Amino acid sequence: MEPIKLGICGLGTVGRGTVEVLERNAASIARRVGAAIEVAHVGSRQSLPQLRAAGVQISADHLAVARDPQVDILVETIGGTTLARRLVEEAIAQGKHVVTANKALLAEHGNALFAAAAAQGVQIAYEAAVAGGIPIVHALSTGLAANRINLVAGIINGTGNFILTEMRDKGQTFAAALAAAQARGYAEADPAFDIEGTDAAHKLAILAALAFGIPLQFDCVFTEGLTELDPQDVQHAAALGYAIKHLGIARRTAAGIELRVHPTLVPREQPIAQVDGVMNAVLVNADASGPTLYCGAGAGGDPTASAVLADVVDLARLVVSTRGDKNSGKNGKGVPAARVPACLSDPPATVPVLNIADCTTAFYLRFDAKDQAGVLSRITGLFSDAGLSVEAIQQREPTAGSQEATIIMITQRAREWELRRLVQALQGLDALTSRVVVIRVEDLNCAESPDEHAQSEEA
């Protein structure tokens, strides 16, 4: 059987990892595909000894790889959205299948790229774009294909999870924990992508398109980062039995889809709350399978290469099975749409994405108040006026000499606009001596009714 020829653009951590894992496991991969997979052409300014030894063509011009007629599958690991977009467009125009690890590219330009690929009868595969070595794209598109998915909630940025774990276990400030993440090489070159939630929002947009059959809508993801997180809230949450996780949450409700990335208190007994350090985890709740949890390394050369090569194997099988078929093949129209998001199905889903004000969660509140008789009853009176129920309340006694107590409250589930109205009222109390810190709380028990938003109301 003639080998399947790969073009690989980019020899950073992921590109190198892909070359190395392919070399290491070439025999078993060939058995699984039914043909050998060879690196035929690499786009890079550098090379690797094993590529030189194998006489692999190296081009500084990535587009030369996309235009190389011997290449069956183009692997894009250069990152960014400008050259990467041109490269993927060119590969598609040349009738090549594409494998990409590029979440920003797909989240921001995926709708157009998937449409172009469908028109050309080729596929864009992107297992490596979300959660590194965890096969969550395959799980959503294949393993759970028979289900109606209600919830996807994930720790999908390892740097953020590492920072939160350091803050909890070592009592570090956010800045010190970020410095530790950078020292270990976890954070992106621009750490803002990690700590402000952009990286997680890119990944969530992709997961939501797969889970709900909606277009990629990165611009509609509500995103709140970790930079404002105070270590005392991490400690208070732990004392109350919660872990704070930076979650990406996509939830189906009767009124629309919630798409949000923010720090979240999660009960410690939830398995996802126990996923610490740089690890990723994704919880999916679906109607037939029930809840399933996927956990593993979200970044790094080998784990991401595992995801890239899973897609290469899938597409290579497709190339093998369609070779010699005049009506199909890599340029044919008979190619099954394995991982093309259902957003490109006909007709596309038109479920709206909800504004954050209409999203529903429970809330953790922390504020300081004068330690005087009657203050607590005025506070709880405001909750009652707002129609909001209190799940838990805790008062930290004032330190010696201080006239202020720290009050921590956890509300029952409410819409965000209701909570904002309550916070405004609380802040009007002269007994309050600090701002009100608010962090969303999710029990993730998957038992909430999707009809929760049926009576949606504007703020």
The C-alpha angle 264, 269, 270, rounded to 5 degrees, equals 55
Contact yes or no for 176/229 (Cβ under 8 A): no
Stretch of 58-66, 133-141, 154-162, 220-228 lying at the interface with ligand HSE (CB under 6 A): 154-162
In angstroms, give the least distance from the CB of 298 to ligand HSE. 5
Tokens for 310? Answer: 């899973």
H or E element: which one contains 378? helix 375-386
Distance CA 416, CA 32 (A): 50
In angstroms, give the least distance from the CB of 154 to ligand HSE. 11
Q: Is 196 in the site for ligand HSE (CB under 6 A)?
A: no
Number of H-type helices and E-type strands within the chain? 15, 17
- Order the strands of the 4-9 sheet from edge to edge: 57-59, 37-43, 4-9, 73-76, 97-100, 124-125
Which of 192/239 has CB closer to ligand HSE? 192
Active site annotation includes 333: no
Contact yes or no for 209/340 (Cβ under 8 A): no
Stretch of 133-141, 156-164, 376-384, 417-425 lying at the interface with ligand HSE (CB under 6 A): 156-164
Q: Is 111 in the site for ligand HSE (CB under 6 A)?
A: no
Q: How many chain residues touch ligand HSE (CB under 6 A)?
A: 9
Q: Is 159 in the site for ligand HSE (CB under 6 A)?
A: yes
Distance CA 39, CA 5 (A): 6
Stretch of 3-11, 110-118, 157-165, 311-319 lying at the interface with ligand HSE (CB under 6 A): 157-165
In angstroms, give the least distance from the CB of 78 to ligand HSE. 14
Which of 203/415 has CB closer to ligand HSE? 203
In angstroms, give the least distance from the CB of 209 to ligand HSE. 17
In the chain the first and final C-alpha atoms are separated, in Å, by 64
The catalytic position among 5, 203, 245, 330 is: 203
153: closest CA among 287, 246, 274? 246
The DSSP bridge pattern shows strands 279-286 and 290-297 to be antiparallel
Contact yes or no for 88/21 (Cβ under 8 A): no
Distance CA 378, CA 190 (A): 46
At 158, is the secondary structure helix, strand, or coil?
Answer: helix
In angstroms, give the least distance from the CB of 133 to ligand HSE. 11
In angstroms, give the least distance from the CB of 441 to ligand HSE. 23
Q: What residues numbered 167-186 form the site for ligand HSE, per CB under 6 A?
A: 186
Which of 102/411 has CB closer to ligand HSE? 102
Angle of helix 26-33 versus helix 13-24 axis, rounded to 10: 80
Q: Is 218 in the site for ligand HSE (CB under 6 A)?
A: no
Stretch of 92-100, 151-159, 365-373, 406-414 lying at the interface with ligand HSE (CB under 6 A): 151-159
The DSSP bridge pattern shows strands 279-286 and 149-155 to be antiparallel
One character per residue 269-308, x = contact with ligand HSE (rule: CB under 6 A)? -----------------------------xx---------
Q: Is 194 in the site for ligand HSE (CB under 6 A)?
A: yes
Stretch of 37-45, 118-126, 152-160, 371-379 lying at the interface with ligand HSE (CB under 6 A): 152-160
Angle of helix 231-239 versus helix 158-170 axis, rounded to 10: 70
Q: Catalytic residue numbers?
A: 203
Q: Which residues bind ligand HSE (CB under 6 A)?
A: 157-159, 186, 188, 194, 199, 298-299
